Amino acid sequence: MIDQAFPPFRHSPSQPKVHVLAGAFALTLIVLLTGTLTANCEVAAPATSRPPRIEEQWKDKLNANTVAIIAGSPEDTYLDITHDLAVVLNGENLRILPIVGMGGAQNIRDVLYLRGVDMGITSTQMLRYFASTGELSSALDQRLTYITRLYPEEMHVVAGRGIKSLQDLNGKKVNFSETGSSTQITARDVFGLLSINVEEVNMSQNDAIVAIKDGSIAATVDFSGKPAGVLAHIPAADNLHLVEVPYTHTLENIYQPGTLEQSLYPGLVDAGRQRIQTVAVDSVLITNNWQVGSERYRRVANFVEALFTHFPDLKKPPRHPKWQEVDLGKELPGWQRFQAAQDWLLQAKFDQFRAKYQGDNVKSESPADKQRMFREFLEWQQSEARKQR
């Protein structure tokens, strides 16, 4: 049987046949085992790593440091301000995407719930409004943080020449801008506090100007940082004007005084007057309360570093004149500042503190000296805060 299974081997008469066959079997077994081991080694060998495809490289590069900011309509100062941010801050390590929005009220909703939105511009009045109603969140002041207060948004009331004061609008049709907009909500508040009852209508500012001229409505209201683009270009020939808004005691707790200059609105303010009185409310740059260490937090923190570092460049021409009114350190009571922004401001104050009290000795400080100085700085800051209460 063995002879039939394996071919015959030549052997000497002195060597038993079975020994030769056993050797042949062992040799065959070795060959088979060696082949198996070789095959196993080939399977276990690591595959050659390939570089990422060009599509993957571009996807990672474009998304790594890009942030999206929800702004306003093309006729709104919000969009001009956000465009300035993109022009000044865009670079190799940061890209800003301005998004056309629907105003301060909708911007809060978008920051909270719209995918891909990292930040947005709204007004302090809208934050107060939604915090009081609870319609977006029962803990809005914990869900949202602010990066910085921005500039005042002035109340513009445009009417025909027959309207001499806000009281003349009693019982008449007045445009409060689009439904759900921050202008609508804030205009209702101001007119209510002043006890002026009007018939509200809702349309865009461009449509409202046409409606005033054809007599369909009496006036339009717009909260926007001056100069409001859609209003600044109205010619004197349209026979319209800006109506003064009195800064009464009933408005003092919520609004701040403002002015609208003839130089900014030559077609709406008579040449004999340099400015008219109005009220204003601050705009504010907001973001979610992103978890420290998360990817969204990192990207917004990267934006904060660029904004605060290059802020002086935003105050130079040809940027929007409203940048001149921005104070990065101005606080918003009742709301928490985004942690990276708070840290940046604290470090800047500390650097000023050290330079003031140590002068040229700052560079020679040891780590222990720096820690001691920082503790003294915190104590000093707390003392100053108590003095302001």
Paired tokens of 160: 């025909």
Whether 169 and 311 share a structural domain: yes
Identify the pLDDT of residue 4: 42
Please give the model's pTM, rounded to 2 decimal places.
Answer: 0.80
Identify the domain boundary among 291, 318, 337.
Answer: 337
The range of the structural domain enclosing residue 22 comes to 2-41
The pLDDT of residue 112: 97
Per-10-residue mean pLDDT, the chain, length 389: 40 42 42 43 54 79 89 89 97 95 94 97 96 92 97 98 97 95 95 97 96 98 93 95 96 95 96 94 97 96 97 97 96 96 92 72 66 73 64
Domain final residue pick, 291, 309, 337: 337
Report whether 281 contacts 124 (CB < 8 A).
yes
Residue 46 lies in a domain: no
Domains of the chain: total: 2
Looking at residue 23, its pLDDT comes to 47
159 and 30 in one domain? Answer: no
Contact between 279 and 256 under an 8 Å Cβ cutoff? The reply is yes
Evaluate whether 159 touches 301 at the Cβ level (below 8 Å). Answer: no
Q: Tell me: do 23 and 84 sit in the same domain.
A: no
For residue 362, being part of any structural domain is answered with no
Residues 18 and 133 in one domain: no
Q: Are 147 and 8 found together in one domain?
A: no
> How much is the pLDDT for 368?
76
Q: Are residues 6 and 95 in the same domain?
A: no
Q: Is residue 99 part of a domain?
A: yes
Answer whether residue 349 is part of any domain.
no
Give exposure, 21-59, as e/b (b: 16+ Cβ within 10 Å): beeeeeeeeeeeeeeeeeeeeeeeeeeeeeeeeeeeeee
pLDDT at 57: 77
The tokens describing 276, both together, are 């008219």
Cα angle: 185, vertex 128, 81; to 5 degrees: 75
Same domain, 235 and 296: yes
Residue 62's pLDDT is: 77
Q: Collapse the DSSP code of 206 into the 3-class scheme (helix H, G, I; strand E, B; otherwise coil) and give the result.
A: helix
Please check whether residues 64 and 13 belong to one and the same domain.
Answer: no
In a domain, 370, yes or no: no
Residue 3: predicted pLDDT: 42
Domain-located, residue 342: no
Q: Which two tokens stand for residue 194?
A: 């002043």
Give me the residue label for tokens 């004007």: 241
Residue 66, domain CATH: 3.40.190.10
CA 329 to chain centroid, in Å, comes to: 17
65 and 176 share a domain? yes
Question: Is position 291 within any domain?
Answer: yes
Same domain, 36 and 75: no
Q: How many CB atoms lie within 10 A of CB 250?
A: 14
Final residue before a domain boundary, out of 318, 337, 356: 337
* pLDDT value, residue 14: 43
pLDDT at 349: 86
Distance CA(118)–CA(270), nearest Å, equals: 43
What are φ and ψ of residue 125, in 5° steps? Answer: -65, -35
User: Do 107 and 174 belong to one domain?
Assistant: yes
Q: Return all residues near 292 (Cβ < 8 A) that are at least 6 apart.
A: 339
Contacting residues for 269 by C-beta, under 8 A, at least 6 apart: 241, 242, 260, 261, 262, 275, 276
Look at residues 247, 272, 271 and name the one whose alpha carbon lies nearest to residue 259: 247
Asked if residue 148 and residue 102 are part of one domain, the reply reads yes
Confidence (pLDDT) at 48: 60
Does the residue 154 lie in any domain? yes
